[in-house]
Amino acid sequence: MRKTGNPIVDLSFEFSLSIIRFSEQLEEKQKFVISKQILRSGTSIGANIWESQNAESKIDFIHKLKIAAKETEETEYWLLLCQYSENYPDTEELRVELLNIKKLLSKIISSTKASLKNKEINTLAH
C-alpha cells in the first residue's frame, strides 16, 4: 500500500495485513475459530479508522475511533489467548504493533475531545 501520510491510517492498515497473515497461519494449524475471531476484530480496527477519515463531525470522528479502540481490546484478548495456549504461533510482534495503535488512538481521541471542549468554551465566551 502507498503510505497515506496519516500515521494511524497507515499503522492500522499494516496491522490488518499482519493480522491476515497471522490468521492464515492459524488456519494452516486448523485453529479456525480463533483465526476467524482475530481476523474479524483485527481488521475491524483499520476499517473503523479508515471510515473515521470521512466522519460527518468531530463527534462522529471520535465515535468511530472509540469503536476502533474497543476492537483493539478484543484483538488483544485473542492474541493473548494464542500467546498463552499451546501449539499457537507467537503473538509478541503483533501485540507490539497493537500497543502502538492503542497509544496513538488514545492520543487522537483525547486531543479531539479537548479541541471540542475548547470550541464549546470559546463559543460560550462570545
For residue 1, what pLDDT is reported? 63
**Per-residue pLDDT tens for 94-111?**
999 999 999 999 999 999
In this prediction, residue 125 carries a pLDDT of 60
Please check whether residue 18 lies inside any domain of the structure: yes
Residue 2 lies inside a defined structural domain of this protein:
no
Q: Which of 20, 34, 19 has its CA nearest to residue 88? A: 34
Look up residue 4 and give its three cell numbers.
497515506
Please determine, for residue 119, whether its predicted confidence score (pLDDT) is greater than 90. Answer: no
69 falls within a domain:
yes
**pLDDT for 123 beyond 80:** no
Nearest to 55 by CA among 43, 67, 44: 67
**CATH number, domain containing residue 32:** 1.20.1440.60
- pLDDT score for 121: 72
1 found inside a domain: no
Mean pLDDT of 5-26: 98
Rounded to two decimals, the pTM is 0.92
Q: Biggest alpha carbon distance in the chain?
A: 63
Enter the C-alpha cell of residue 20. Answer: 491476515
Write out the residue range of the structural domain in which residue 93 sits: 7-125
How many domains does the structure of the chain reveal? 1
Q: Are 60 and 2 in contact (CB under 8 A)?
A: no
Burial readout 52-88 (b: 16 or more C-beta within 10 A, e: otherwise):
beeeeeeeebbbbbebbbebbebbbebbeebeeeeeb
Confidence band, pLDDT 50/70/90 cuts, at residue 65: very high
> Which comes out higher in pLDDT, residue 126 or 53?
53
pLDDT at 126 over 60: no
What mean pLDDT, rounded, does the chain reach? 95
Q: Determine the average pLDDT of the residues in 67-92.
A: 97
